[in-house]
Amino acid sequence: MRLKLVPDETNFDFFGRPKLWLGISVFLILLSFGSFLIQGLNYGIDFRGGTTIRTESAQPVDVGAYRDALNALELGDVLISEVFDPTFGPDQNVAMVRIQAQEGEEAVTPELITAAQAALATVAPDIQFVSVESVGPKVSGELIRTAALAVALAIGAVLVYIWLRFEWQFALGAVVALVHDVVLTIGIFSELQIRFDLAIIAALLTIVGYSLNDTVVVFDRVRENLIRYKSRPLKEVLNLSINETLSRTFMTSVTTLLALIALFVLGGDVIRGFVFAMIWGVVVGTYSSIFVASTFLLWLGVKRDWTTTGDGGAGTQFADVDA
C-alpha cells in the first residue's frame, strides 16, 4: 500500500473563496510592513558593521558580569546573549557578544577586539573566542546594497524568462507571488527579530527559486490544459490544473521540508536562522503558488487561443520543448 498525503483524484475549489485568501495575504503583508516599519530588522554585523564575538567557556555564562566587564570600555551599544542548543556538550556555554561599529571608524578596529577579549577573560579565565567577526561600516553599506540588488535582479530575470516561455500574464502572476513571499519572509524576520545577515539573503533567493519552481509547475499544467480545453472557462482550467498538480506539490514540499527540518533540529545553532527562513519560504511559497499566482492569473485573464501563430504567437515561440 502506498503512502498518500493527497488522494489521487481531488476536486477542491481553490477559487471559491478568493476574498478569504486575498484577505489573508493582504493582512500578512500589511503586518510585515508594519513590523518592518515599527521595529525594523535585526541586522547582523554584515549589514550594520561592528564586531561579533562568540565565546565558549566551561563555566556558565553570566551575562551581567560580561556586560559589566565590557561597559568599562565604553564601546557604545553592546549586545550580549547566551546561546542554547541541544547539540552543545555539557560544559559548552556559549554566548554571543555584539559590539556596534565605532563612531568615525571606516575600517575594523583591532584594538577594540583585543580590549574586549581581555575584558571578557577577566570574568571567565577559561573563555575561548571560537569566532570573531568584524565588518567595517564601509563594507556593510555595500553588502546591503548588493544584496538588495541581487534579490531585485533575480526577480527581474525570472520575470523575463517566464514572459518568454509563457505569456506576460503568467510572468506577472509569478512575480507577484514572489514578491509576496519575500515580503512575508522579511516580515517574519522583523516580527521575531531573528538576526538578518548575508546568509539570510541566500535563503531569500532560494525562496525565490523554490516558490518559482512550484509556480512554474502549476503554470506549465495550466498552459497544457488551456490548449486541451479550449472552451472551458479560465477559472475551471486553473482549478483543474492546480488539482492535477496537487499531489506533486505536496510530495515535493514534504520531502524538502523533511530535509530542512532535519537541518533545523540537528544542524547546530550557527545556521538555524538560515534554515528557518527556508522552511518558512517553502511553506509560504507553496501557498502562494496556488493562491496568489493563480488568482492573479485569473484576474489578468489570458489569451485562450494558443494555436495561432499570428499576432499573438509571442508566448509560444520559445515554448516548443513540450510540443
Partner 1 sequence: MLQIDLWKRVLIWGVVALGLVLALPNAFYTRVEVHNDAMAAIELGADTPENQEKSAAWPTFLPSRLVNLGLDLRGGAHLLAEVKVADVYQTRLESFWPEVRDALRPERATVGTIRLQPSPPDELRVRISQPEGMTRAVELVRGLARPVVTLTGAGATDLDVRADGSDIVVTLSEAEKAATDERTMRQSLEIIRRRIDEVGTREPTIQRQGFDRILIQVPGIGSAAELKEIIGTTAQLTFQPVVGRAADAGAPAGAGNEVLPSLDEEGVFYILEQAPVVTGEDLVDAQPSFDQNGRPAVNFRFNPSGGRKFGDYTAENIGNPFAIVLDDEVISAPVIQSHIPGGSGIITGNFTVEESTNLAILLRAGALPAGLEFLEERTIGPELGQDSIDAGKVATLVAFVAVLVYMALSYGLFGLFANVALILNIALLFGMLSLIGATLTLPGIAGIVLTVGMAVDANVLVFERIREELKTAKGPARAIELGYEKALSAIVDANITTFITATILFVMGSGPVRGFAITLGLGILTSVFTAIFVTRLLIVIWFERRRPKTIEV
Of 124-163, binders to partner 1 (CB under 8 A) are 128-136, 138-139, 143, 146-147, 149-150, 153-154, 157-158, 161-162
Position 228 contacts partner 1 (CB under 8 A): no
Which residue from 48, 54, 98, 195 is in contact with partner 1, where contact means CB under 8 A? 54
Which residue from 21, 66, 274, 306 is in contact with partner 1, where contact means CB under 8 A? 274
Position 71 contacts partner 1 (CB under 8 A): no
Q: How far is CA 99 from CA 45, 63, 126, 272, 277, in A?
A: 9, 14, 21, 22, 25
Which residue from 3, 90, 301, 309 is in contact with partner 1, where contact means CB under 8 A? 3
Which residue from 76, 268, 308, 313 is in contact with partner 1, where contact means CB under 8 A? 268
Specify whether the backbone of 268 is left (phi greater than 0), alpha (psi in -120 to 50) or beta: left
Nearer to partner 1, 276 or 291 (CB): 276
Position 278 contacts partner 1 (CB under 8 A): yes
Min dist CB 17 to partner 1, Å, is 26
Position 279 contacts partner 1 (CB under 8 A): no
Closest by CA to 235, choosing from 296, 291, 298, is: 298
**CB distance 238 to 222 below 8 Å:** yes
Chain-centre distance for alpha carbon 228: 36
Nearer to partner 1, 62 or 220 (CB): 220
Position 10 contacts partner 1 (CB under 8 A): no
Position 107 contacts partner 1 (CB under 8 A): yes
**CB distance 118 to 302 below 8 Å:** no
| 302 vs 220: CA distance, rounded Å | 14
- Binding to partner 1 in span 187-206, by CB under 8 A: 198-199, 201-203, 205-206
Min dist CB 38 to partner 1, Å, is 28
Among 19-27, 74-82, 181-189, 246-254, which window interacts with partner 1 (CB under 8 A)?
Answer: 246-254
Q: What is the dihedral of CA 100, 103, 108, 109, to 10 degrees?
A: -100
Closest by CA to 215, choosing from 155, 275, 130, is: 155
**CB distance 292 to 180 below 8 Å:** yes
- What's at 311, amino acid-wise? D
Which residue from 7, 8, 74, 310 is in contact with partner 1, where contact means CB under 8 A? 8
Which residue from 80, 176, 216, 240 is in contact with partner 1, where contact means CB under 8 A? 216
Position 43 contacts partner 1 (CB under 8 A): no
**CB distance 169 to 301 below 8 Å:** yes
